[in-house]
Amino acid sequence: MDIPVKIRIALGIEQGAVFNFHMEMDGPKRQSKNRYFVVLNKNPKTDTALVLVTPTTQVAKRREFVQRAGISERTIVSVSPTEYPVFTSESAFNCNDIIEVSMDDLIRKVEDNGSMNYPKIPDSILAKLIVGINESPRISPAIKKLL
């Protein structure tokens, strides 16, 4: 018997869980496509909003962005395929940009051509992501409290 996605996500979601779904991006230079997302909430089962970050393969551009903006370089977290084999190339999380979704939205996005059976992001990377979010001047204190 197949357990519905709705139930699997609601019961199994945890900090560091990885999902993949289509994300519409604003701006002419940003591609709308399926992306990986990492859940950062300490209590995702009970929080009203899920705090997600998504990596990019444009690592140098993200580093340039924080340098120009005068933001701590710790807000860019690089991950190699050896650290997380699901990623096929060097990637970076920009902890200055988060995505907030409700549990219902996450479930709908995964059901609409997304996927969810990925290994949890390693604790060593999760710790760097949390530091990056906490160092970011662009993330509100309310969001930081959820981590």
pLDDT digits (tens, 9 = 90+) for 23-65: 776 655 556 678 999 999 999 999 999 999 999 999 999 999 9
CA dihedral 103, 106, 112, 114 (to 10 degrees): -140
Least confident stretch, 3-7, 25-29, 52-56, 107-111: 25-29
Closest CA to 147 of 22, 19, 38: 38
Residue 111 CB partners (closer than 8 Å, separation 6+):
5, 6
Mean predicted lDDT score pLDDT of the chain: 93
Query: pLDDT > 70: what percent of the chain?
Result: 94
pLDDT value of residue 3: 87
How far is Cα 60 from Cα 57, in angstroms, rounded to an integer?
A: 9
User: CA–CA distance from 52 to each of 3, 67, 74, 82 (Å)?
Assistant: 24, 23, 17, 22
Which position has the token pair 């991006």? Answer: 25
Under a CB-based contact definition with an 8 Å cutoff, are residues 73 and 23 in contact?
A: no
Q: What confidence tens digit (pLDDT) does each residue in 63-80 have?
A: 999 999 999 999 999 999
pLDDT value of residue 27: 57
pLDDT value of residue 2: 82
How far is Cα 46 from Cα 2, in angstroms, rounded to an integer?
A: 25
> Going from the N-terminus, what domains does the chain have, and what CATH number goes with each?
5-145 (2.30.30.110)
Q: Is the pLDDT of residue 122 over 70?
A: yes
Residue 89 CB partners (closer than 8 Å, separation 6+):
57, 81
